[in-house]
């Protein structure tokens, strides 16, 4: 969501392939990912909220993520 407007479900390996186009050194669980992607956070939130309007967790296999609510909470707490 940070780098592409995804409108279809993607397999994990496809997500990793696409993400490495933007962050070649990316490794799942590695530190500094938030710092690297932070400048794109607003657009990722906007895109995820758009998906939530169109789809739900019950509309599988459509693309959906509810993690946007967690991200908004954590960034609000961070101040």
pLDDT in tens, 6-53: 888 888 999 999 999 999 999 888 888 889 999 999 999 999 888 877
In a domain, 6, yes or no: no
Model-level pTM? 0.75
Q: Is the pLDDT of residue 61 over 70?
A: no
Number of domains in the chain: 1
Q: Do the domain assignments include residue 20? A: yes
**Closest Cα to residue 42, out of 8, 79, 74, 1?**
1
pLDDT of residue 57: 67
Show Cβ contacts of residue 45 under 8 Å, excluding neighbours closer than 6 positions: 1, 68, 71, 72
Domain hosting residue 33, numbered range: 12-78
Evaluate if residue 5 carries a pLDDT over 80.
Answer: yes
Can you give the pLDDT at residue 28? Answer: 86
Cβ 41 vs Cβ 75: under 8 Å: yes
């Amino acid at each position: 969501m940070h780098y592409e407007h995804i409108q279809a479900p993607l397999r994990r390996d496809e997500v990793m392939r696409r993400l490495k186009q933007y962050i070649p050194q990316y490794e799942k669980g590695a530190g500094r990912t938030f710092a690297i992607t932070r400048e794109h956070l607003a657009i990722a939130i906007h895109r995820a909220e758009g998906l939530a309007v169109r789809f739900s967790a019950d509309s599988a296999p459509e693309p959906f993520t509810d993690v946007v609510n967690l991200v908004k909470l954590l960034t609000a707490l961070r101040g």
